[in-house]
Structure 1
Amino acid sequence: MPRPAGRRTAAVVAAVAVTAGLASACTSDEGEQVPTIGYAIAGDVPTYNPATSTGRWSGALAGLSRVLPGFSYTDPSGSVVADTDIGKAAPVPGDALAVTYSFAESAVWSDGVPMTCDDLVLTWIAHSGRAPEFDVASTAGYRDVDRIDCAPGDKTATVIFGQGRSVADWKSLFGAGEVLPAHVAGAAAGVDDTTAALVDGDADATARIADFWNTGWTLTPGEPVDAARFVASGPYRLEAVDESGVLELVPNDAWWGNRPRTERIEVYPRSADVAALTADGDVEIVDAVGTRSGDLPDGFALTDVVSPAVEQLVLGGGLDDPALRRAFASCVPRDALFAEHGSPGTGAPPASGPGSGVADARFTPRNSLVYGQVAGVADGRYRAGDSAAAADALSGAGSDGATVRIGYRAPDDRRAAVVARIAAACAPAGIVVEDASSPDFTPAALADGAVDAVLGAEGGAQGAAGSQPATRRLQALRSGERANIGGFSSVRYDELVDQLATAASSSARLGLATDAERILWDELPTLPLFDQFRTVAIADGTEAATPNPTETGTGWNMDRWVFRR
């Protein structure tokens, strides 16, 4: 069924004529290639830096993964795949883990400045925790790097890990959204040699670089995008952010790989009216958390995919006492929440594997061979929603009532329904559950004490989330991590996380993961609900768009997309 033409239709014929030599040829039977594809994501993009805490909680990586690629990306299976357009990474034989990273000779930023090992040093220092001024969401993997051998300006560097810190997940380091331009940060901070300043520990210079890294790439809707500041390393570059927060992506003329097949991608934030945009023909791909795509017109193929992320309640605020957390968890009906909201509703959930039931493990994938044993430490706790048990637990904690404010990014019909269901189940126990959502909500509200729980993925992420390697998910509850928004702290859990990062054998990982989950079920810094699923809608006539349920989102290969009308 033909889809209605939107505001871009008048430009189609002229633009196709201009780009005929750049895009795939098409016949009249195939239809005319539309020069712009609209892509709606499940988050906003408030920053160009996906690695900050703000970026991690948002849709920054989903919107910018082909603007800021790295040495690897996450494919639709959740696996980490080498991105050889950027360069190559190769382990070096020796007692300690060492990896040589070599940028492609042609690799340059969109301003023509070569990509060099200085960019890797900035990434390492920013992510390592060595300079706490950097507002990085996670130090996973980078905290284990001992040094980087980098001669400023070289295209090759050797990353050397600490003795005994052979991180199993090293291939995900320096990935998409993590490698940012050191020369831009240095110029803004007034530092000529960023590598020397960062490695030598120049406190003043490091503070200035960190200040820019944290906030200098903030995206403000309606403000012009400075091409000298927002430089790109991928097939697309950011041209503009309109008043509604829509990103305008265009081909990066300095890109050395295959030219993007479509001349413009418009990335729409979660606040966009997707029903209206699809009806008007302005959006061809919708990547939603939950079921936001329910009102789409005819002419779209819907695919429901299960994410590696776990939808959960991250607890803190007024629930800083574990006894209060256990009381609240006692009345949360996890079985009913899965049955009503934990699957797409297009049929019975699978009998096993991802999406098959209530989540009883926070960081062990359900398709792992050891999932059953690790999840078994939950021992059936907090399933049915027992208001009497919750009231008894409250009394044992010295309280006859409690109020729990649950925050999430609105509008979100599914999460609103989850909160309403929890509120109804907990009311008889004397626990008042309030919906504390708002359009400008961020998970930082939990750390600030403005809410008592965040409904989202690990670290409270509100948009696309999840990857198959567990390193980052493990670190989301490590002491001192900014992704640890509830402020959970356990010396023993930290020790287990550090051991898991380097554990090579499956038997060692089983024991460590089981011990870690046992601590989390006893202390309850989070309450896992179910595997997060996403509904991806793709318009008929779209080529090469493949749903990706991970943190990268379906835009992981947007430079290959074509839409014909």
Structure 2
Amino acid sequence: MRASARVRTRHHRAAAVSGAGLLATVVLAGTLVGCSDEGEQIPSIGYAIDSTVTTYNAGTVAGSVSGARQAFARVLPGFSYTGPEGGPVADTDIGTANAVPGDALTVQYKLNPNSVYSDGVPMSCDDLVLTWAANSGRFTRPGEATVPLFDAASTAGYSDIDRVDCQTGAKEATVTFKAGRNFTDWRSLFGATSMMPAHVVARAAGVPDLVAAVQNSDNEALARIADFWNDGWTMTPGELDLALFPASGPYKVESFSADEGLVLVENDRWWGNRPATSRIVVWPKASDLAVRIADESVEVVDVATGSVPDIELGGFDVTDVPSRSVEQFVLATSGLFETPAGRRAFASCLPREELAAQFGTAAEDGAAAASVDTRFTAPDSLVYESVAATAGGRYETPDTTAATAALAETDNTAATVRIGYLGPDPRRAAIVAAVAAACAPAGITVQDAGSEEFTPSMLRDGQVDALLAGTASAPGAAGTAAPTTAMYALRGGSRNNFGDYANGRVDQIVDQLAVDSSTATQLSLSTEAENILWSEVPTVPLFNQPRTVGFATGLEAGAVNPTRSGAGWNMDRWVLRR
């Protein structure tokens, strides 16, 4: 048993996802795990997350729904990271990014002169060129104009860039956006985990000058570059070629195995402040986290509340907080759900209000959590209440009559819906069970298709009919203050749009919202989008996903970050003394 297991676990609940609320939560967490000079420093800290680690590359479709952002934020940092309040925070250790005057948005990026990968190769603007090329959607397979070379999860922002001016090997680049496409969330571009080592790709693809290949649209070279970018950083426990995984942050990958976890160690070529603890071990969800916590292999826990079976957090200071991720059903657009009527039938039998009350985070005054009624607009947005009114109370409680009528429109008097999610997950299993009970009277049989092998791509492949996941179908930590990721997950053609939903007007709205942050535009277009989405129901939002974050008593500098970054956003500052 953990030596400090007798310490009473302290729970703190936050009521709303707001800037002030999140800041208060972070301050509170910092107080709980405040500094102590007593005891011997522990040389290694275990970090448990509720997702998989399958790739080094968080930008791919597989990487976007893995724990790559939580695991590698301080291994592959960028010009910014997602801070605890949900917005981008500049990371000047990597360099600076400054907008320069002009009609078109133009950003000057300058890498730190001392920046170098752990294998001794300097960082350069080649890394930015690769990031843009991979995520722009510009490069497609010969003869297949709609099939991108790169398996990027989203083109948000990068598709708005006209060009990246870079001299091969240089430390600076000028990024110029297309006329009229002043992407409002540009500070999140080229951020943590987005910039992969271009020199590794160039070497593996046999391309002597990656920048020239991109600038000249050399399709043959780009195809080889894309093949490696897509699959070359796959992480199979026990089978890593470390030469392919150099780091640009305070930590680097030392090893990865089922028994020992993902081991990160101090990067001796890091030019910034040395990490306070030299070794971090990341334990993915499949590591049997309950056992790892019980045998004292874990000192930091960041999981969706109730998602990990049998964990005991005695000896941890625990914070329960609603996150920026919206728990939701993502529906297929084939089979029963090929038409909006089939999707409305399922939505009509859902007990959304009951699910939010039972599985969401209660308010500070004890009131039950409210369901989230929007896809693009965060509950702490100035326009949320007005936009959310579009739902008009639809799909709050089970309506068997409406579900039966909608089902009849599909020529089905009975139907089966397979709901997939990453398991084991008691909370999601309970949600599926509640939905099964509510939908049965309408003739809809709900099957639990959760499994340890589950990936959101199973929806696209027809292996399940619905996903139960967070923002953009992420199983674990997800979400930012900006609606970027959530919006593009419903844009036609986006690879993280796993249901393959497409609506031309919604695409236009997403494109406009991405470059116009005015309150009037946000209110008008978001309301129009929700009118369409509540009618066609490609997704059903439920509630802000609650997160449980635990820091072992005595751990210093632990700070809750209920966004896609997770608690590991500042792991290089963690110190544990016993």
Instruction: Tell me, yes or no, if the aligned pair for 1:53 and 1:483 is still in contact at 8 Å.
Output: yes
- Structure 2 counterpart of 1:326: 344
- Structure 1 counterpart of 2:15: none
1:337 to 352, 355, 360: 355
Residue segments in structure 2 that go unaligned for 5+ positions in a row: 7-34, 140-147
1:368 to 381, 386, 390: 381
Residue segments in structure 1 that go unaligned for 5+ positions in a row: 6-26, 351-355
Give the 5 Å matches for 1:200-279: 200-223=216-239, 225-244=240-259, 246-279=261-294
Alpha-carbon distance in 2 for matches of 1:297, 1:499: 45
Instruction: Tell me, yes or no, if the aligned pair for 1:249 and 1:264 is still in contact at 8 Å.
Output: yes
- Aligned-residue offset at 1:539: 0.7
Instruction: Give the residue type in structure 2 aligned to 1:52.
Output: T
Q: 1:413 to 1:347 in 2, by over 3 A?
A: farther
Instruction: Give the residue type in structure 2 aligned to 1:444.
Output: S
Task: Give SS of 2:525's match.
Answer: helix
| 2:307 corresponds to 1:306 | no
- Structure 2 counterpart of 1:408: 421
Instruction: Give the residue type in structure 2 aligned to 1:474.
Output: M
Instruction: Tell me, yes or no, if the aligned pair for 1:85 and 1:257 is still in contact at 8 Å.
Output: yes
Task: Give SS of 2:97's match.
Answer: strand
- Aligned-residue offset at 1:33: 0.5
Give the 5 Å matches for 1:431-470: 431-470=444-483
Q: 1:427 to 1:261 in 2, by over 3 A?
A: same
| 2:138 corresponds to 1:123 | no
Alpha-carbon distance in 2 for matches of 1:69, 1:102: 14
| 2:78 corresponds to 1:63 | no
Instruction: Tell me, yes or no, if the aligned pair for 2:305 and 2:320 is still in contact at 8 Å.
Output: no
Q: C-alpha deviations, 1:440-463, integer Å up to 9, x for none?
A: 100000000110000001221111
Q: 1:278 to 1:346 in 2, by over 3 A?
A: farther
The two structures have a TM-score, normalised by structure 2, of: 0.91
- Structure 1 counterpart of 2:103: 95
- Structure 2 counterpart of 1:420: 433
- Structure 1 counterpart of 2:116: 108
Task: Give SS of 1:271's match.
Answer: helix
Instruction: Give the residue type in structure 1 aligned to 2:4.
Output: R
Alpha-carbon distance in 1 for matches of 2:36, 2:322: 37
- Aligned-residue offset at 1:308: 1.1
- Aligned-residue offset at 1:278: 2.0
- Aligned-residue offset at 1:544: 0.4
Q: 1:3 to 1:280 in 2, by over 3 A?
A: farther
| 2:161 corresponds to 1:153 | no
Instruction: Give the residue type in structure 1 aligned to 2:73.
Output: S
- Structure 2 counterpart of 1:543: 556
Task: Give SS of 1:184's match.
Answer: helix
Alpha-carbon distance in 2 for matches of 1:532, 1:135: 27
| 2:518 corresponds to 1:518 | no
| 2:200 corresponds to 1:184 | yes
- Aligned-residue offset at 1:292: 4.0
Q: 1:137 to 1:189 in 2, by over 3 A?
A: same
Which deviates the most, 121-130 or 318-327? 318-327
Instruction: Tell me, yes or no, if the aligned pair for 2:36 and 2:554 is still in contact at 8 Å.
Output: no
Q: 1:245 to 1:50 in 2, by over 3 A?
A: farther
The two structures have a TM-score, normalised by structure 1, of: 0.93
Count of residue pairs brought into register by the alignment: 539
Q: C-alpha deviations, 1:33-74, integer Å up to 9, x for none?
A: 110100000101000001100011111111111001100001
Which deviates the most, 455-464 or 184-193? 455-464
Task: Give SS of 1:489's match.
Answer: coil
- Structure 2 counterpart of 1:560: 573
Instruction: Give the residue type in structure 2 aligned to 1:250.
Output: V
| 2:178 corresponds to 1:162 | yes
- Structure 1 counterpart of 2:3: 2
Instruction: Give the residue type in structure 2 aligned to 1:237.
Output: K
Instruction: Tell me, yes or no, if the aligned pair for 1:62 and 1:553 is still in contact at 8 Å.
Output: yes
- Structure 2 counterpart of 1:22: none
- Structure 1 counterpart of 2:86: 78
Instruction: Give the residue type in structure 2 aligned to 1:73.
Output: Y
Q: 1:505 to 1:283 in 2, by over 3 A?
A: same
1:531 to 544, 548, 559: 544
Task: Give SS of 2:514's match.
Answer: helix
Q: C-alpha deviations, 1:389-442, integer Å up to 9, x for none?
A: 211211133221111000000100000000000000000110000001110100
- Aligned-residue offset at 1:388: 2.1
Q: C-alpha deviations, 1:177-205, integer Å up to 9, x for none?
A: 10011110000000000011122111111
1:135 to 151, 167, 173: 151
Give the 5 Å matches for 1:17-56: 30-56=38-64
Q: C-alpha deviations, 1:224-261, integer Å up to 9, x for none?
A: x3332101010000110013472100001110000001
- Identity level (%): 55
Alpha-carbon distance in 1 for matches of 2:364, 2:107: 46
Instruction: Tell me, yes or no, if the aligned pair for 1:344 and 1:533 is still in contact at 8 Å.
Output: no
Instruction: Tell me, yes or no, if the aligned pair for 1:186 and 1:192 is still in contact at 8 Å.
Output: yes
Instruction: Give the residue type in structure 2 aligned to 1:378.
Output: A
- What is the RMSD of the two structures over their aligned residues, measured on CA atoms? 1.8
Instruction: Give the residue type in structure 2 aligned to 1:498.
Output: D
Q: 1:518 to 1:28 in 2, by over 3 A?
A: closer
Alpha-carbon distance in 2 for matches of 1:372, 1:39: 37
Alpha-carbon distance in 2 for matches of 1:2, 1:178: 40
Alpha-carbon distance in 2 for matches of 1:4, 1:217: 39
- Structure 1 counterpart of 2:142: none
Instruction: Give the residue type in structure 2 aligned to 1:341.
Output: F
Alpha-carbon distance in 2 for matches of 1:105, 1:29: 35
Q: 1:315 to 1:481 in 2, by over 3 A?
A: same
Instruction: Give the residue type in structure 2 aligned to 1:338.
Output: A
